[in-house]
Structure 1
């Protein structure tokens, strides 16, 4: 190796001095400089390598290899402009695209020149597939950076088509999925990258960030550590690792991360921010405040810094400053409940409950499940004198989580990622203890005792509160609730009435009087209490829902629906009336009404599991299978461990004839029932197997059901249906007999009778039905079935008696009436016309019913009317040979043989070999002329 250029220069000067004569210095060859540069790169001495490459270019400015190597080293050091300059000169020197273009594209990306990437970078030159894929993926990144999501997706897909393992493209797709909140799909893409390219640092960091977002902190730590192993001076990796350590309350290791960051990226604002978080976590609020003030001088518009400074100021009891900075953050994120909690708490501390309500109320809805948020808003309302609102919210808070509502936990600061303000604001975790003075702690204490069923303690605490808050209705209402829980109704009523004496507008006490009425079986008192509420608040949901429930319990479905509709109309933004009303419609098989009711909900309501479940079932019931599948699949994504969600999705998929998908969903539902506690799921799978004619699989499942539910009928029903499908009537009959022995009902008894008929044992069929009817004489459906069997064996009298009983017990359908008309006609009984007419009036579009009606009219002397009806039936069913024969017979009887002949000839031509052919041929022989 040549000596270092500086040493060569000294040696030359020494030689000049010694000889005192001019000398021409021979420069080292370009190849030697390049070789030395490569050796320095291998040793990690990048600066020395850059010097040697510059020396080489001084010797030969046209050396492409030196230009490309120097550009790569600049790129490696993050110097985008210098890298772009060197790659551009390599291009101008005529270098092949594969040498300069990938580096040039990366240099432009590093500078944020995304438009230049899209204009100047193509993948059409002399490149192999991997290089082309890399350039296309870079174009995808440029599109993504400029917000052109579809174009980016297209570029990534093109890149993967050329090189299925291209890590940049997969990382880009993952970033798109993350922006769309599809974390699981993004994780799948990142896993694929790291499976094939475990050393891909960018993907490793992206997965670490995602793990941190998903609160899988140990997994995130693994990725950050691996990224540091691959890239020891990567600031982003240390920032991520520090955030994990902070989230784990591991201050010591977080400090170690900061020590490294101070040496490699001390100027990054994120480093100062992390230092403030660590100081805060150590309880050194003064130092944290100093750090944040310094940070805000550099980045005054940073929401992260403003948020943290507001939190620190709150911790230092500087509530005016806290309110100022936290309000700025809230104005940029007006729908964020965590920030609203902080602002509300600061304003309550400042004794400004009106402004606290202004911050908190917009983020509280019927669907809110945050006990702290409800308790804060409830307290603010109590301090403004709105007792009913405040008490109701605090009660909701305690029902959700009494410990959280007491604010014994802490409230609110972020797991904040460097440079990702949206994630910082969205992902808040505990950090600031609000203190009991922020909420109505004594009220919460009583409610907490009630929630724990410690009623004596609740009474003692609330009676003490009655003395301290003698002008407030709240404590008297709480004492009443405690007595109510102990079934001491007299004391409860007195306390609720005392509460109303303190504040006649305190609707909570009226509602509790309604509860009292329900518990004492006095619906009149409950109704009066609800009406008293509505007299003061005509839109009160609870009162209207209560009146709807009272109507329902009185079997007044019309009045129940009217109250539910009124509640919904009066409170169009409320969810509860819609949900209960939708359930009512579903029970009445009015799926379309339920679907319409649940459409157009705001996003936060529309995506609730309870709403998705009802909407999916309504869409299924109304026949909109594709929508039902979409809705129920969303439900399974939200609740992957919900057996009912998978079951309902399977039903929708089966209804749309996607049996393979239905089977997969049923499989997931049954996996969630390993102990066989929900038979309907297994029965649903069995019905799917029957529908798909997989009778052996159905029989196997039937055997399992018989073993798991030996005292239930499910397995025997499934077994009987499977054997029927296989045509094994004998085994089907045996299974039905076993099922009836466990649980006899109309359906099974009639199936068993049909099975006996199928084997030719009509007498046994009649016997089974008659035995059943002896015990269940009002079963109209079975009387009708018995009539059919008796009619088939020629027992006209028995059939007519059975049909009469069927009609008597609610089965007056057109088929029974039609059969009776035919039987009475055979007996020459004048009642034939009466029943034929009734059947015709019920089913005037049925050709069989019209045929009987016409034939009865014709046979009873009303020939012209009868023939007209018969001809009408033939027009509707021109291929029905029996109707055609009746028309021909009527025409012949009326001496209209010329019209009858073509009818008979058509029967012979189109129904040769049928049972009707013989009669048609005989009649044709009788025709005149």
Structure 2
């Protein structure tokens, strides 16, 4: 994906953004073959003769001049002479921090403390180190209530706390800390700068600009004040020339001020002055060659110039000094894509999303890669949080349309394109949206003509996608095929066109044509998982499981390291019992070690081990993953889940807390902690964790759903309502907020309020132009009407819903269940038959019809439908149980016993299956086996409610 470089990097985005370069190693003394001049020899002799204290004094002088590089050299020389100098350790820590070496600074500061160096200065420094390391909670916990005696150190500590409180969004506490710093050193430029930044965070931009003007007037030689003045001018949308002048003034005063370099480059790029921006990057390289932001901008310009090799080297250097920085990871993803390393690109984007779930650009980039890799479902999962956000971009909506079209959901693809038009009316996608709007208003001819014109004019594919979708929906397959041919001319080597032809053939019922088209897609792109998925699905429908597996083996032959293909292969083999679980675990473990940063194979292997109750190996494998990638939240989360399952609650809490620390903007950690506390019966701790999760993303629909579900589970509807109201306030036109409100009301058995909320959600969906069924909402609304005793209204609603969505098999199945539970067997069977008519592959409907036929005394039909269900979904215990009953009804008792024994083997903890097995043994005269099964059931006592039947059978065989 080609993207323009972002224009502005906020101050402090990279470690050490004060503008001082990282210290390099001291140059080796060059010894010539000729004798040195006497003066040089004497000078050299004098240096070698300096004492450790002399070197420390020299370092202090360098620090006063802000020459940290020279100071570091002197301090390291001093410590070589006398490593017990605690003050030198402290000064070295300070110099390293100013140079951006946070890890080295932390080590030296701890050594200084352990060697007895104390006082306010070290306290302030260690607090600042915690902030730079992102350990905000630890910082506030240790130093939040501390005050230091020395005014300068007190100001240092309080300004550090300002940063911590802003990071936690506690602006009130941040203001108290800033005021304390101002009281300590009212004339300090550094403190006043922090105050100006806080005013900006508080939304007081005019006051911030007035204060910075006062500061610049009083301290005109303060370079950082000029830098901040430039940043505020940018925020206020002042003319670019003003901010450029401010940044240049800052650099005139201090050429090593990295933030000013960044601000200048951003503004020059924004104005389109590439030549001047390139010169500014060169100046930044000269002033701070090892700084993270220098690597960043140099890499951006290298990419822009097509110098991929240089950009790769620069991003690798960047990630060494800023491994978790969001912009660094995004740029590294772009560079990896340019190199053709899709796996590394995905890993970079995924890591960015873990740290910043709201990052739309990263979600788009990752979803595009996943879609290109053939995993449309995963691509939509990746993109969904951006779609659920307050303001999804036109790019997000257009990509969602492309995904839905590839999934065969043309109507929803059109809806996304129409929304894209609303977001950005000047974009080509907006013109596409306007054309779709004409079609929706019944102006089909004008709308289709507009789409054809756009398709011919635009090099992109948005118009083509919309046109193909519209024509396919109208069943004008010939015209749709022509539109696909037009799209194909734009990218003749791509597999997209034949894939679309395949989907078109499926719509026409031409399975042979679809196979041919998908085969052509594979020929063009053997690594295309989309085509492999389509062919594999068709193979499974034809019950050719081994052929389905071979589809992914073709991908693996073309791309032996394709993890998605490996996982798809393993998934099919496990689901259809083509591989033993032990062999699967072995292979998944190998894949986990080959892909240490990808949690998928390790998660699958650990899941299988947990199923087998091999907790020791599962724990070892999970721990191995964390050891290999200690900062991978998904692997730490996996370890926490195993620890929780094995009863190691404290270690699990520690793991989930680490997940929360690594992903402060992700609710995963708090949600895991809520589950853990709930399992332990600690409802207060669970509630506190849920509150933290909800506070992270009040406008996140999926998060609100999870919070509501867990809050209701623990009997806290008040907590659930907080999440509901937060979602409604953030997204007032999003129906989910009202659907969840209905769930809360229903849990309280306030059916009137629940129905009102559900109908509001339904109304919002209609107003938004939804064209697809919201089955979940329909089912809960219908069920609530029945629970409220409003059966006539429920019937009217069901009839109206089915008139609009005639083939919604899930709603039809729900109606079947309602009738079944009410004892209306003929109506239930009618509903299940409708489900089968809509989807002949629905095994559950076939199983229920079999059960109903048996109750009606129609054993032949019961057996036919039971066999159908088991053929569609083999080895499913409830379906095997029905089949055994049907076989017994037909007098095939021996065969029924074999089927029922397999059902018991698959689900040994379900006593009802054992009871039927015992009944079959009794019917077949097998008293010994019957007694064994009945004894197991009798030992369950009141935990099995059918003890009367157990005693009856025991009496029968005595």
- TM-score band by shorter chain is 0.3 to 0.5
Structure with greater Cα Rg: 1
TM-score by length of 2: 0.45
